[in-house]
Structure 1
Amino acid sequence: MTSPLDRYLLSRRRVLQGAAALSAGTMLGGRAFAAPSTPITFVGWQYQPQIVEENVKIFSKLYDENVTYELVTGDYHPLAETKLTGGQKIDMLYAEEDRIARWHAAEWIRDLEGLAGVDEIKASMFPVCIESLSLNDGKLAGMPYYAGHNSFIYNEEHLSKAGIGVPESWDALLEACRKLKKDGISDAPYNSAWGQKWAELSWSLFSCWYSEGAKVFDADGNFVDEPALRKVLEVHQKLYQEKLVAEDIMTLPGEGVPSYCTGRHTFMVLHDYDQKVTNDPAVSKAAGKVKNALMPGATHSTMAWTAAYLMGSQPSDVDRVWNMLQFFGGKAKDGKYHVIKRWALEFGLGSAYKEVMSDPEVVESFSKWRDLAISGKQVENGTARKIGKAIWFPEWDLYMMQQAQETFRSGSPIDKLVADLGAKATELQKQYQ
């Protein structure tokens, strides 16, 4: 029998088992009388697909539309790229921000500039979100699926027992972890997503790098070797070598969230919406004890991102597909944020829209599980990962995670890791010239 937390995570990013009702290519929406005969094609990943199906039906009814929704189970981005490379025509699809420029360069998607209402839509979003959704030339390329950032959380009860405050630097965090372990309060005080999937070690490391003020890459896309970058890598290596993290941290399921919910760990860098899970008494033994603070580090910044709905480069009908992008990624023609507000209220997903984040219902809901003043400051101080727009970046990113893991495990020199990362970036830049 699976626990409530297991069921939550199963629906989140793991392959669905026996989801016959959501098989690929399922026709959704129950065509209205006036619906066009040619369907809009929509490809999505495995986050709450049953709700996506409901949203497709709402859109189809509201707009008298015909939609084919295809669920991609497994590692979404490589599978989506396989479909696109094979010539599959897709009208609307999901993507994380680091794929937008790559897919645009491959002529699989188009930008949204010039479509009705785009300027007003951009004016209603937070600047960091616009930056995430735009191409290098500034053109808006996607509508926001959700807006997130990596948060720093702590178990208030653990700190109280240890008689220590919330660490504001990485050195202070390291010392706090040593004391918590020595005092027997936590055998693995620090936790984070250290796996090799796209939203794990890379997002965590970039958040820590930005919090310390590391550029990682300069404006021209060149790798930057600097003390702040090395500092973060050194702290991570010490956390692992001193056994201040779980021995299996690099293979923890669910991005480490289930492990934190056991109450075993004190600190964690995690996706902001997952704090809602850690404070849910139905799935977490740490519920009610988990607080958020600004990221430790010299700048207290973090990595902020906005996932996207993209329009295929050859849409079956631009106006119809644009209606669907607006319905899912903004306001529908009835003036409601049908999809975005539901994600916020039910799952704690942040929005790129100022209006949604200031909505009284959303504010009340979010305030139950996190300090909104702190999270607001964290968003304002967030850093968008501009290098993600480089078409070679996904390859470097995977290489970086693999090499970082091995360095943390083996205790091999940080000098070598940094040199290898710089050399790999230069190699890939030349390949893609």
Structure 2
Amino acid sequence: MCLIGMKRVVISAKKEDRMASRVVTKLLGTVLMVAVLVVPLAMAYDEFDLRPWTNTPIYFQGWNYRPDIVEDNVRRYNEELGGHVQYSTIAGDYSAIMETKLVVGAPLDVLYGHAYDAIRYYRGGWILPAEELPNIEQIKADMYPTIIKALSYDGKLLGLPYFTSVIGCVAVNLKLLEKVGLTPQDFPKTWDELYNQLYEVRKRGLEHPYLPPWYVEQWGIPWAFIYETLNRGGRIVDENGEPLLTADGPAGDTLRAWKRIWNDGLVPHEVLGYKEADFLEAWESGQYLYTPTMLYNLKRHNDPYYSAIAGYCSVIPYAGQPWGMLDIAAYLMTAHPRTEGAKHDVMAFTSWYGYKDHHGEFFVANRWLENSMLFSGYRPVMESPLAEAVMKKALARPEDYRAALELYEHVQYPAELFQQPWAAEFQSFLREILDEFLLKDLPVEQVIQAMRDEINRLNAMYK
């Protein structure tokens, strides 16, 4: 966590990298100032004691992603600051399991959550907003405004950034691209161009040129529908949660495109039964030309330990149509009754883990960036030489560095949908109805109406 003098680092002096630096500066769009709520306990960062004041254990839980790194980070906090943090990994339906734990008051102090989880938990009275952290002003000053907006509700920042990325950027197998007689100049610029190109690729000998991200997790087929609808210019709901989906609009266009490539046999039908791990292995086998993926997964896709196409996995650049949407997760604090000392301990650990350590460095965020190419919601992390070096090393082509930054700059976010307290439930519904749509060849109009009906039902239930 490297920001002692709070200076903004310019990425490079070369002309091309100066351009990339300007892209990073514009990263995530808006430059609007976000109002900071000043809490009575506000104090300078170096006055916030990150050491525990009590011997009360802190229970920290997260989903199953690199628990080895998390455990080692926690070990460092405990050893160097005398902490009492106990970390455990949750397997299964993470959002549902954590909500149950919160409802019953199970031992839990700090947890991962997506932005829509945070809003739902906050409305339930189960989490303590990050807005109450003593060093919140400095934290917000280092965050991108759009990340603040995505993680805020009712004027309060709910959690500290764990990671940000783009989900739905389209990876390219450069080996197969050359084999079927195409070049990067032939990259599609829109979803429709991509789907149309699949037919030509099949004529050139590749039976299944496309691996769709229709796996079972909520960030699989439900998110694929959401971000493709967004990329085509549509919205799922308005600011009040009222449905905007229509059969003759972007949502219907998405379904028609999916039905066509499914029925025409351009995609492997077994993908509907995949979990994300199966999906990643299938892509990294080298059998497919294109697949939507997480931007951070490009590092893994180019690692020979995992991938048969290491060094040959590129990405389709932005050329007018955004690809995918912003994925963001946060560290959240529970609102369990605590003594003032125990409350300080939870806040101190959360600040250390989700912001800067006791040396004033972005230790955890930098480690995620270096090990997994997880992007950060903090400017000093993303605008550092480390970020540039990590990305250039992980990507297949030199031009992919700028392409990744531009994808990030133009990324969309379904704020109106994810601000709804029923967002997670609607995603579960999407998974079921979209599977049925493909497997039973349901009419587009019927499926869109079912989505609208479900949104109306959820709105009525939460009024």
Is this contact kept in 2: 1:46–1:71, CA < 8 A?
yes
Is this contact kept in 1: 2:54–2:345, CA < 8 A?
no
User: Displacement of 1:331 after TM fit?
Assistant: 1.0
Aligned mates of 1:315, 1:381 — CA distance in 2: 42
Aligned mates of 1:128, 1:301 — CA distance in 2: 18
Is this contact kept in 1: 2:52–2:348, CA < 8 A?
no
1:331 to 338, 356, 361: 356
| Matching residue of 2:445 | 415
2:197 to 160, 176, 181: 176
Aligned mates of 1:372, 1:319 — CA distance in 2: 41
Is this contact kept in 2: 1:128–1:304, CA < 8 A?
no
Relative contact order, higher structure (CA 8 A, sep 6+): 2
The one-character-per-residue Cα deviations of 1:74-102 (angstroms, maximum 9, x if unpaired) are: 22221111211222242211112221111
User: Displacement of 1:34 after TM fit?
Assistant: 8.2
1:116 to 134, 157, 162: 134
Is it true that 1:215 corresponds to 2:235 in the alignment? Answer: yes
Shift of the 128–202 alpha-carbon distance from structure 1 to 2, 3 Å rule, reads farther
- Give the length in aligned residue pairs: 398
Percent identity, aligned pairs only?
Answer: 26
Aligned mates of 1:71, 1:403 — CA distance in 2: 30
| Matching residue of 1:320 | 345
User: Displacement of 1:159 after TM fit?
Assistant: 2.8
User: Displacement of 1:255 after TM fit?
Assistant: 5.7
| Matching residue of 2:115 | 97
TM-score normalised over the length of structure 2: 0.82
Is this contact kept in 2: 1:152–1:295, CA < 8 A?
no
Is it true that 1:241 corresponds to 2:231 in the alignment? Answer: no
- Structural mapping, 1:183-262, within 5 Å: 183-184=204-205, 186-226=206-246, 227-253=249-275, 254=277, 256-262=279-285
Is this contact kept in 1: 2:116–2:419, CA < 8 A?
yes
Is this contact kept in 1: 2:426–2:455, CA < 8 A?
yes
Name structure 2 gaps, 5 residues minimum. 1-50
Aligned mates of 1:101, 1:349 — CA distance in 2: 23
Shift of the 159–69 alpha-carbon distance from structure 1 to 2, 3 Å rule, reads closer
| Matching residue of 2:38 | none
User: Displacement of 1:206 after TM fit?
Assistant: 1.9
Shift of the 362–413 alpha-carbon distance from structure 1 to 2, 3 Å rule, reads same
User: Displacement of 1:427 after TM fit?
Assistant: 0.7
1:82 to 100, 121, 139: 100
Aligned mates of 2:326, 2:317 — CA distance in 1: 13
Is this contact kept in 2: 1:128–1:384, CA < 8 A?
no
Shift of the 354–390 alpha-carbon distance from structure 1 to 2, 3 Å rule, reads same
The one-character-per-residue Cα deviations of 1:393-427 (angstroms, maximum 9, x if unpaired) are: 21111111211121122322111110110011001
Aligned mates of 1:161, 1:52 — CA distance in 2: 41
Amino acid at match of 1:282: Y
User: In structure 2, the residue corresponding to 1:68 is in which secondary structure?
Assistant: strand
User: In structure 1, the residue corresponding to 2:412 is in which secondary structure?
Assistant: strand
Is this contact kept in 2: 1:100–1:389, CA < 8 A?
no
1:385 to 406, 414, 417: 414
Is it true that 1:147 corresponds to 2:164 in the alignment? Answer: yes
Is this contact kept in 1: 2:53–2:344, CA < 8 A?
no
The one-character-per-residue Cα deviations of 1:5-52 (angstroms, maximum 9, x if unpaired) are: xxxxxxxxxxxxxxxxxxxxxxxxxxxx98732112212222222221
- Structural mapping, 1:248-327, within 5 Å: 248-253=270-275, 254=277, 256-294=279-317, 299-314=321-336, 316=338, 317-327=342-352
Aligned mates of 2:171, 2:266 — CA distance in 1: 16
Is this contact kept in 2: 1:100–1:141, CA < 8 A?
yes
User: In structure 2, the residue corresponding to 1:42 is in which secondary structure?
Assistant: strand
User: In structure 2, the residue corresponding to 1:191 is in which secondary structure?
Assistant: coil
Aligned mates of 1:98, 1:295 — CA distance in 2: 27
1:138 to 155, 176, 189: 155
Aligned mates of 1:425, 1:238 — CA distance in 2: 26
The one-character-per-residue Cα deviations of 1:354-402 (angstroms, maximum 9, x if unpaired) are: 2112221231121123322112111121122221221112111111121
User: Displacement of 1:163 after TM fit?
Assistant: 3.6
Structure 1 window deviating more from structure 2 (417-426 vs 370-379): it is 370-379
User: Displacement of 1:115 after TM fit?
Assistant: 2.5
The one-character-per-residue Cα deviations of 1:85-139 (angstroms, maximum 9, x if unpaired) are: 222242211112221111111111021224222122122222332222111x231
The one-character-per-residue Cα deviations of 1:131-184 (angstroms, maximum 9, x if unpaired) are: 22111x231000111111112111223333334410112221112111111211
Is it true that 1:399 corresponds to 2:429 in the alignment? Answer: yes
Aligned mates of 1:171, 1:70 — CA distance in 2: 43
Aligned mates of 2:225, 2:302 — CA distance in 1: 24
Name structure 1 gaps, 5 residues minimum. 1-32
TM-score normalised over the length of structure 1: 0.87
